[in-house]
Chains A and B, each alone.
Chain A
């Protein structure tokens, strides 16, 4: 209620001139809905397995604060330079901008920011907790868990049987796809943080699992799925290993392969082996068990690249038999309907060589039976907790072959669970805030603009080099241009619309952010309607 006075006539001014202000009139009482500025999220972040704060880091990028962009990016993804090259970018599929013109090139922005900050990443934690964690396996999951646990102040020791960290990424993924320099820089960052590495040391062979458990407050098993799967059909032993080929090539060898070659596989490795073979001068065919349309989204990009480069495919086929005749491999394949071989579809094909390139499986042989069952581990998929106290599992060792971003997420969520365990707290998985859909985007505020294409080599250029990076990404200029297209769904980027359009001046601008003055806000809803990115909701004030 407005303030009341009992002015006497003698107390009035001569003219009917006002004496006070409308601040005496708290119009908040008019309101039946109140605007609430929320922290929401975008479809991209919601879809991202590791929940990268995409609208947030892109906003910092637009504002020119690249360090902040990197900082925000690293919060949920420590290795954007890796995901920026290898991620299958599920985030871009539901991008609201895709419903308007074209989705934001999130992956390339991530790569740009990751690379920008790569050499400076990795600071020791401010406080040490004195707790010690051993991580078995220095692949991506182990590295990811190490990054987060170390940043929480725990002492982290990674055990790896190889002479360096990185696992599959270091020893198999070709240079043209992920330059070693990038991986080395990521490893360097962990080193700078103070993560300790015990290399050339295989747990179960050089040091016992029980001993680790004794020495450390917690153990994370991140030994991956590093044993290539070999199918069982007659003559399979006549075939070569695609894995070995990738490894040789990664190490610098350039084996001579030519003519028609076949690659047998069921995922990423098959496509990549075929691409390596193409670069070595062969004419590769991939024998793939499903129809083309069934290629999982996570392998779509690599499939497209392979197809562009002239790799050929036999879809929905499985090998039944292999023979060696006159120096050639005769491969018998048949149609596969997803469950069984289709009768009378057998067909012989002649190749110079046939490579096995199936995805890997995990070897849990060094672990006690208590946490194993039927060749898999008994572990919670998110927290990685096992029946053994203080023992956690992360990455492909529990999930099987997975896209890099899922592996990173696994490392991150298990690290959070381990951190909670070390601090005696209960681990609570992250809650996903409300996702802003396209209907809440006020597209009037966004001029139409096509996606900024990243620089990449043409297929013809690509097939001539095993070392030259195939995707070159964005320059800063291109990155900024692309970043400006982002709707920043659900993330208040302080655009000022709510403040500018508030008819009551009840949205104040405090330290660069909007703040609602509920004492006077009449609840008209203009702020909510004009928020370009659906951050402000009108919430019913009270039930009538």
Chain B
């Protein structure tokens, strides 16, 4: 092995300055760096209230080498729409308008504007960097917080008891031309999806899994590993949905037990201590995964060989 990446090229569009204000090991900054490699300079990021409102720097500083438009918490999709409208009026069809929002700004407070923009098929790219809670405000649960997780509002005594909201299904229900999940641990997959998204006109949604070391109670060096484990344990599958209909799993995970993912993080301590709850979570993951596999099969008419190994109970 030498240069290990197909899609990521060295020194191509490195448009994020160091010195930004992200915590050590921030997954959201890895996601942004990789995304910028695809968009290049011809993009504007619309950032609602989220970690990235801070990361990009305190005035007068700015970390990205593209324009950024900061906006209110619930307005990422619509502010992006407004900018798209203005740029279209100015004939700037060559630039990408990218809503760059956290999970709270997407799954919760921003859902209405997101739904509006998705339904109108606005010509924007909406990327949610998902760290599974309100991290910037100090780790409160969001509707993206997964089953069993600790947050400051779902303490150890009463950890999150509802599964993560399935944003992809919500987007699929809008019949948007493109929706995909991605992970910072799989840069090639992420970049392929970004590239695909840039080739499509209309509303494009990318859900990128971005670990948060302080919020997930883990060491900062584990960000990428934990993201990888999320994929390999089927907790966060990598797939895409075209036109709300065609499901494609883009990476077949190894199907490791969920503990492999949980044990790297302090936030799942209550689940790890409770075998019953852990079994329940594992069952939930299996059901969700099997459902996704069936959708893939229904979309393509067959399953690749790798698929079998990932399914515990035979389909």
A residues bordering B, Cβ < 8 Å? 2, 5, 7, 16, 18-27, 30, 59, 62-63, 442, 444-446, 484, 486, 488, 493-497, 499-506, 509, 512, 517, 519-526, 528-530, 532, 538
Contacts and interface: CB of A to CB of B under 8 A. Distances in A.
B85 interface: no
Contacts of A27: 18-21
Nearest to B31: A503
9 smallest CB-CB distances across A and B, nearest first, come from A525-B221, A520-B18, A22-B19, A524-B24, A18-B62, A524-B25, A25-B19, A19-B60, A509-B10
Interface residues on B, range: 35 or more
A145 B1 CA distance: 34
Interface of B: 1-5, 8, 10-11, 14, 16-22, 24-27, 29-30, 33-34, 56-63, 65, 184, 187, 213, 219-225, 228, 232
Contact of A22 (B8, B18, B184, B232): B18
A142 B16 CA distance: 58
A532 B17 CA distance: 26
Majority SS at the chain B contact face: loop
Contact of A503 (B25, B65, B222): B25
A538 B4 CA distance: 22
Given A62-B2, A495-B3, A517-B18, A21 B62 contact: yes
A530 B225 contact: yes
Q: Pick from B14, B22, B57 the residue with the most CB of A within 10 Å.
A: B57
A178 to B, nearest CB: 33
Given A24-B61, A526-B223, A496 B10 contact: yes
B187 A16 contact: no
Contacts of B29: 503-504
5 contacts: A21-B65, A505-B17, A505-B33, A517-B18, A529-B221
Nearest to B1: A495
B228 A444 contact: yes
A504 B20 contact: yes
B60 A504 contact: no
B2 A63 contact: yes
A445 B4 contact: yes
B38 to A, nearest CB: 13
A16 B20 CA distance: 18
A21 B224 contact: no
A323 B58 CA distance: 98
A517 B14 CA distance: 14
Contact of B61 (A22, A30, A525): A22
Given A502-B33, A528-B221, 10 more contacts: A26-B19, A62-B1, A446-B1, A496-B4, A504-B20, A506-B18, A509-B10, A523-B24, A524-B24, A529-B221
Nearest to B191: A500
Contacts of A62: 1-2
Contacts of A509: 10-11
Nearest to B63: A22
Contacts of B184: 501
A30 B18 contact: no
Nearest to A528: B221
Contacts of B26: 503, 524
Contacts of A21: 17, 19, 57, 61-63, 65
B4 to A, nearest CB: 4
A408 B50 CA distance: 63
Contacts of B22: 503-504
A500 B187 contact: yes
B187 A22 contact: no
Contacts of B59: 16, 18-19
Contacts of A517: 18
A445 B5 CA distance: 11
Contacts of B222: 529
Contact of B3 (A20, A24, A496, A501): A496
A504 B213 CA distance: 14
B21 A25 contact: yes
Contacts of B232: 444
A2 B222 CA distance: 28
Nearest to B3: A496
A496 B9 CA distance: 9
B68 to A, nearest CB: 8
A27 B228 CA distance: 27
B25 A525 contact: yes
A97 to B, nearest CB: 12
Contacts of B4: 445, 495-497, 532
Nearest to A527: B221
Nearest to A523: B24
A144 to B, nearest CB: 31
Contacts of B213: 524
B219 A525 contact: yes
A23 B17 contact: yes
A520 B19 contact: yes
Nearest to B15: A505
Nearest to A513: B10
Nearest to A12: B60
Nearest to A514: B10
Given A496-B8, A503-B30, A22 B2 contact: no
A20 B63 CA distance: 9
A7 to B, nearest CB: 8
A502 B17 CA distance: 12
B19 A20 contact: no
Contact of B224 (A7, A484, A488, A501): A501
Given A444-B228, A520-B18, A526-B25, A538 B1 contact: no
B18 A23 contact: yes
A325 to B, nearest CB: 66
B62 A22 contact: yes
A8 B134 CA distance: 35
B1 A488 contact: yes
A442 B57 CA distance: 33
B61 A2 contact: yes
A16 B68 CA distance: 12
Given A22-B61, A484-B1, A524 B18 contact: no
Contacts of B223: 501, 503, 524, 526
B24 A529 contact: no
Contacts of B63: 21-22
